[in-house]
Structure 1
Amino acid sequence: MNRTDRLLAIMLELRTCDFCRAEDLAEKFETCKRTIYRDMQALSESGVPLMAVPGKGYSLMEGYFLPPVHLKPEEAMTLLLGSGYIEQNLDREFQQHARTAQEKLEAVLPASQQEEVIRFKETVRFLPGTFFPKAQAYTDYENKLISLRVAIMEKRAVSFGYRKKIEHNHLQSGRRTVHPYGLVNISGIWYLLAYCLLRKDIRHFRLERMDELRCEAETFEKPDGFELQKYIPDQDRPLSIHVVFDTSVQDRVLESRYFYLHTHKVKADGLHVTLRVRQVEEVFHWLLSWGSKVKVIEPESLADRIREEAAAMLGIRQKR
């Protein structure tokens, strides 16, 4: 054990005991009393308020450490669950922090609470929210997350190529330079909230559509009063789509928690749903996946496209 680790360990030992004798500390840390005396001198010179009582040993002055926080089992479990979620959804650095935080929290809980927490942990499990078919894809995604987190903390601009869906599901690529304000996780998928220098406004960028991410030398300051936790985006999904689902699938539709679902109402003829989108391509394939169980009411142009796509699919099958 090096000296720095030993000094910290001595402080923790003093915290748990009223008094500690030099010979007991020397035996515990496998050193000599003279070394312990020097350690105590170093702690005192660094500002640690020590008391030395002849015949009793050393003690910390009352109040140097804050009193222990007494957590109810439910409160401890909440913190452990939160660290479990972080472990599955953030990058490898925070995954390690989450694991060590769990270990430290579990270690300081009273034995009775530890048993209760262990039982409760067996009833809840978090799984990663995003599927990656290749290990390299996950590594690339994680590296983007790390780079963006650093850029946000250092208030540095970033640039990247961005693939964006446009008319008839074609992809449009272009390079963007942005001021990153924060990261937002929606259903396991990470988005960057940033001020786009091209659009002159705040935009949202999905990490999986970014290529060749680079941190720039340029720095920036967030607008006065901007708080990520309170930020509510302007309505950037102006197009409204009205569809009706068959009653046989209405529960499945609602259980999907589909991102673009805006309103829903159960009526005699089925589940009426309003979707809010920027462009119909965002929901086109999702609607197709429901087959004959969904009917597009408006816009009529979307209903026509779905009929054309269904006819094309039928034509492919008939050719076989």
Structure 2
Amino acid sequence: MNRTDRLLAIMLELRTRDFCRAEDLAEKFETCKRTIYRDMQALSESGVPLTAVPGKGYSLMEGYFLPPIRLKPEEAMTLLLGSGYVEQNLDGEFRQHARTAQEKLEAVLPASQQEEVIRLKETVRFLPGSFFPEAQAYADYESKLVSLRTAIMGKRTVSFGYRKKFEQNNLQSGRRTVHPYGLVNISGIWYLVAYCLLRKDIRHFRLERMDGLICEAETFEKLDGFELQKYIPDQDMPFSIHVIFDASVQDRVMETRYFYLHTYKMKEDGLHVTLQVRQAEEVFHWLLSWGSKVKVIEPQSLADRIREEAEAMLGIRQKSIESC
């Protein structure tokens, strides 16, 4: 990093923190404290209002605004790509903000950078991750996003009916009241991370399975220490399923990026895969879709279920042939 870039980076660091020690800045920018002292002197001489407090470090006078930042083409492209992702994966309000942000950013770039950004834009594109066959379904989905986002920002309790898959693939509905902590997007699918008042613990809820979402008047405070960006969910998938895929489909299996896939290893007899699940029902139909290309090793109960289902399908086909 050259000195000009480092001076700007130091100012940005000071802008986001109350105090910065010279040793911390030296470690961050991989230089020595003597160089940081010279940088601080240079910033002060250029008119940047700095204060130094013994034992605490340097700080930037409150209210000081940084001069316009000159972005590299790659930095500008990174911001434009980020706004493009937001435009495709958030609700209408943020789509509009994303578009205007793109327009403003592109307008202030120098002509040479605009040309470079245009060329870079031709190399990457984001498409919506979720498919909605009906316009009304998409509108309902957007409405949930807006309502949940509002509730999260206002720390408002929400309630909704939730459909969850259980044994024999029956859908059972139950009313849930939760404290919404944040929204997480996984492969284009939105999940709500929330403290469930029924389970007395943090749970995850898929937006498509919510019905009758209501923002309640009651407010809440998050659990002490909870940070969405650092949150790692507990592994509540106690059951392991061992299957072997035929070598001819190993690439297709890996390309699915299947959520429950835990480990895999190629051996002489095929691709050995371990699935980690809460219950076997969660992967039953996915395994069945691979037909003769997959063999369930354990548990035996799941292997028996798949064989019974295959026999039932064969019976239906036989009856259809006989009736013709």
CA offset digits 1:28-49 (Å, max 9, x no partner): xxxxxxxxxxxxxxxxxxxxxx
Is it true that 1:312 corresponds to 2:312 in the alignment? yes
| Cα distance in 2, alignment partners of residues 309 and 253 from structure 1 | 21
Offset from partner CA, 1:209-260 (integer Å, 9 cap, x none):
0000000011000012110010011111111111111110001111111111
Return the alpha-carbon distance in structure 1 between the equivalents of residues 210 and 161 of structure 2: 6
Which structure 2 residues correspond to residues 149-298 of structure 1 after superposition, within 5 A? Answer: 149-298=149-298
Within-5 A mapping of 1:2-151: 66-151=66-151
SS in 2 for 1:271: strand
In 2, Cα distance between the equivalents of 1:268 and 1:77?
A: 46
For 1:126 and 1:84, how far apart are their aligned partners in 2?
A: 7
* Aligned mates of 2:269, 2:223 — CA distance in 1: 49
Distance between the aligned counterparts of 1:79 and 1:169, measured in 2?
Answer: 43
Distance in 2 (alpha carbons) for counterparts of 1:269 and 1:77: 46
What is the Cα-based RMSD across aligned positions, in Å? 1.1
Letter paired with 2:307: R
TM-score, normalised on structure 1? 0.79
SS of 2:232 mapped into structure 1: coil
| Aligned-partner Cα distance in 1 for 2:280–2:189 | 21
Query: Counterparts of 1:316 and 1:233 in 2: how far apart (Å)?
Result: 43
Distance across 2 between alignment mates of 1:112 and 1:314? 66
DSSP 3-state at the match of 1:242: strand
Moved over 2 A (4+): 63-66
1:64-104 CA-partner distances (Å, limit 9, x unpaired): 75211121111111111111000000000000010011111
Q: Which consecutive residues of structure 2, in runs of 5 or more, have no partner in the other structure? A: 1-62
Mapped to 1, the partners of 2:74 and 2:266 lie a distance apart of 37
Name the residue aligned to 1:55. none
- After superposition, what is the alpha-carbon deviation per residue over 1:95-153, rounded to whole angstroms, capped at 9, x for unaligned? 00100111111111111111011111111111100000100000001100100000000
Q: State the identity as a percent.
A: 86
Distance in 1 between residues matched to 2:154 and 2:106, nearest whole Å: 33
- The one-letter amino acid of 2:227's match is E
- Distance between the aligned counterparts of 1:267 and 1:69, measured in 2? 54
Q: How far apart are the structure 1 equivalents of 2:310 and 2:251?
A: 24
Count of paired positions: 258
The residue type equivalent to 1:242 in the other structure is: H
Larger Rg: 1
